[in-house]
Amino acid sequence: MDTFNHYEPGDYYDELMESTGVPRPGARLLVEKIESLPPGDLALRQQAAEALLLKMGITFNVYGQTEGTEKIFPFDIIPRIVSSRDWHLIENGLKQRIFALNAFIQDVYNEKKILKDKVVPEDLIHSSRTYRKECEGFTPPRGIWCHVTGTDLVRDKDGRFYVLEDNLRCPSGVSYVLENRQVLKRTFPQVFEASQVRPVDDYPTKLLETLSHLAPNLVHAPTIGVLTPGMYNSAYFEHSFLSQQMGVELLEGQDLVVSDGFVHMLTTRGLKRVDVLYRRIDDDFIDPEVFRPDSLLGVPGLMSVYKAGRIAMANAPGTGIADDKVIYAYVPKIIKYYTGSEPILSNVPTYICRDEKDRAYVLEHLDELVVKAANESGGYGMLVGPHATDEERKEFAEKIMAEPRNYMAQPTISLSRVPTIVGDSIEGRHVDLRPYVLFGDDIYVMPGGLTRVALKKGSLVVNSSQGGGSKDTWVL
Amino acid sequence: MLSRVANSIYWMCRYIERAENVARFISVNLNLLLDMPMEEGKHWKPLIITTGDQELYDKHYSSYAQESVLRFLTFDRQYPNSIISCLAAARENARSIREIISSEMWEHLNNFYLELTDEGRSDMAFGEPHRFYKIIQMRSHLFTGLMEDTMSHGEAWNFARMGIMIERADKTSRILDVKYFMLLPRAELINSAIDNIQWTAVLKSASAFEMYRKEHHRITPRNVANFLIFDSRFPRSICHCVSSAMICLHRISGTTSDAAHNLAEKRLGRLEADLEYTDIDEVIDQGMHEYLDNLQVRLNQVDVAVGATFFNLQPLIDSVTQEQ
């Protein structure tokens, strides 16, 4: 295998290499180790890691293919390494951001100060598809809305981290972080040990603490459950994994019923009360009596029990208002408003299409920009201008003009790259970083995160639904 | 525990036991084939008839050649009781309760299934069938061994064990039913030592040959039937399976062994008592086939009662939809 001797960092920020043959300080041990491997050994380790993931059954169903088609989430064994200095900034930046976003959600559904002060336009809130009228006047237990967040960060050519997206609803992927780590520890044991990588393994314990913290007062040993859409959901493995790691129930909507003003699960010995739900079902589907009536995944009556304070939910229904991609553009102002300080982590510059001047600019520069719909995720409803055809750009221009509120645009970021195994050699591939943040007694940022990698050459889209894979993330 | 979870673990185990028994059905035929070569189609057709799915078979296959029958019973995904369909169902159930079973159980079952989906597997099944179906049986044994040794013997384990036992009782009765008719042309031969080879094959298909020898020495149809139905110590006999299932059921309900508090306990308890107070000569007088047929019907009723008692709480709450 052709290793780092000929590796070209190229015109991007490379997470492991300063220049050809010169690793960054934290990556030196790893690069030396890979260099010292006999030819073919790295490929063998890669295969062994993939075989291990398959054996552990860490697979997702591929929709639209023949029955029984399952794939492992593509995994590359060369880790991404984050220096402690970079991490310090990320950690503080995220704590500040999540604190402010939580305050924002509480404010928007209650006093609406930030709207009255015209920092965020009021019509933007009411026209958002993720705004939940049903939550107005409600304060969730301990005033916490976004208990679990997975914020997407990217690093530009200048080496600085930017926040690309806030995922405050049901961010997924944390199980891959934990499993990738298990696999990598076996793949590069000595390097791992010598590099003093910070552990991620206590995430399930921290999550359990976060959830227990929400239990209604006076409940001594709360019954906690993870609410999943079921085994055909692509993140089912994660739901099952987390409930197993926390030792709590894994529940489906069909297991739950509202009776006597409480939520109960159906057990072999009758009904048993449930106190806290870590729900991995979107707001739209959790209660057909309140939200989408055609939902079979949820529990009829759940919202009324919730609003009576007889069950807690993480994340709270309604948090989606803060991850509307247009509201995102206002987050720097939101941080300033609630904390009085400048944001530690910057946003990617954003053009808001409802703003006339911005819209004109966007329509003129579609070939340079990335356009996103306000409420889509998973890489859908998105235009990557430089890589799109004229036709696609035209189509998006029409969409923007028809519904300007629903679109925003950002300059194309030159995402940083990490050396990645491609056939017989190592080539740079673009990555992002999704750290996970828990808001319980305190705000906790797991030292690590999901590094998603665009495996297609030159591609900037890292979503697994669009040909992305993942890497382990080592925080030193 | 959650009703859905209890349901899944019960069915996971039934499906694995079912897959194992399909392999046993095939093995007994393979053994017979070694000893009494016959015209091809003749030998395999009865096996399809006993599945009760002959119609489905005829729709997709034109002959009863060994390879077609093995393909149908082993690899055909359209046939819900083929080995691969059973394992796929077992694995889907396991996947929905991964947090309940040990990772050893999950990984083994996952592997068991994935191996079977491998292209090369069918070559082995057709080329070295004896070895192949032995491996299937051993994989199933390994699973139950893992369950025994890596999973707490609590409520979930008792549901699992009960699933195995009810399924096994049903399948042992079927093995006996089929062969009894095929191999016993005239009822008056019941006590004579006819065709040792064939009855040996029947015993072997239930892994019962050596244990039988210790009890009965001579092989007669009467004694073979007696052993497979009534021997209380042999782990694949119907009587033993029903008693074991009853023990699990009592542990699940938390009741003492001399009381019946729910429909499942009542039905299974009655079946257990009937087995205890019946003997083989009565069965023969009554008609073996009728007796076994009735036994299978009653095992089905037990299954329905288990479902109604533990898995489906609909009668209490009608706003919730539940499916099996």
Q: Is B265 on the interface with A (CB under 8 A)?
A: no
**pTM attached to this predicted model:** 0.81
Interface test with B, best of A70, A249, A262, A268 (most B CBs within 10 A): A268
Q: How many CB atoms lie within 10 A of CB A68?
A: 14
Q: Which percentage of chain A shows pLDDT scores above 70? A: 95
Sign of CA dihedral A307, A313, A317, A319: positive
Cβ atoms of A426 and A198 within 8 Å: the answer is no
Query: Which region among A373-377, B182-186, B257-261 has the lowest average model confidence (pLDDT)?
Result: B182-186
Q: Please give the Cα distance from B138 to B16 (Å, whole number).
A: 12
> Is the predicted pLDDT of residue A279 greater than 80, yes or no?
yes
Nearest Cα residue in chain B from A264? B2
Cβ atoms of B180 and B225 within 8 Å: the answer is yes
Query: Which region among A105-114, A147-156, B196-205, B246-255 has the lowest average model confidence (pLDDT)?
Result: B196-205
Nearest beta carbon to residue B2 from set A67, A266, A300: A266
**Is pLDDT larger for residue B298 or for residue A456?**
B298
> Is the predicted pLDDT of residue B32 greater than 80, yes or no?
no
CB contact under 8 A, A56 and B3: no
Task: Give the confidence band of A393 by pLDDT, cuts at 50, 70, 90.
Answer: confident
Cβ atoms of A367 and A393 within 8 Å: the answer is yes
Q: How many CB pairs under 8 A join A and B?
A: 69
Query: Two tokens at A94?
Result: 């995220």
> Is the predicted pLDDT of residue A149 greater than 50, yes or no?
yes
CB contact under 8 A, A268 and B110: no
> Is the predicted pLDDT of residue A170 greater than 50, yes or no?
yes
Nearest CA-CA partner of A90 in A462, A328, A434, A441: A434
Question: Chain A 106-165, CB below 8 Å of chain B: which residues?
Answer: none
Task: Give the confidence band of B39 by pLDDT, cuts at 50, 70, 90.
Answer: low
Q: Enumerate the residues of chain B whose CB falls inside 8 A of the CB of residue A273.
A: none
ipTM for this model:
0.75
Q: How many CB atoms lie within 10 A of CB A422?
A: 13
User: Given its phi and psi angles, is residue A261 left (phi above 0), alpha (psi -120 to 50 degrees) or beta?
Assistant: left
Nearest Cα residue in chain B from A243? B99
Q: How many CB atoms lie within 10 A of CB A108?
A: 25
Nearest beta carbon to residue B111 from set A55, A243, A249: A55
Q: Is B99 on the interface with A (CB under 8 A)?
A: yes
Q: Enumerate the residues of chain B whose CB falls inside 8 A of the CB of residue A65.
A: none
Length of chain B counted residue by residue: 324
Question: Minimal Cα–Cα distance from A243 to chain B, Å?
Answer: 7
**Is pLDDT larger for residue A404 or for residue A464?**
A404
Nearest CA-CA partner of B174 in B75, B48, B293, B27: B293
Taking residues A258-275, report their average pLDDT. Answer: 90
Question: Chain B 134-153, CB below 8 Å of chain A: which residues?
Answer: none
Nearest beta carbon to residue A67 from set B77, B96, B311: B77
Taking residues B244-263, report their average pLDDT. Answer: 85
CB contact under 8 A, B99 and A240: yes
Q: Which pLDDT belongs to residue A70?
A: 65
> Is the predicted pLDDT of residue B170 greater than 50, yes or no?
yes
Interface test with B, best of A241, A266, A296 (most B CBs within 10 A): A266
Q: How many CA within 13 A on the CB side of residue A26?
A: 20
Rg (CA), chain A: 23
Nearest CA-CA partner of B109 in B121, B119, B120, B97: B97
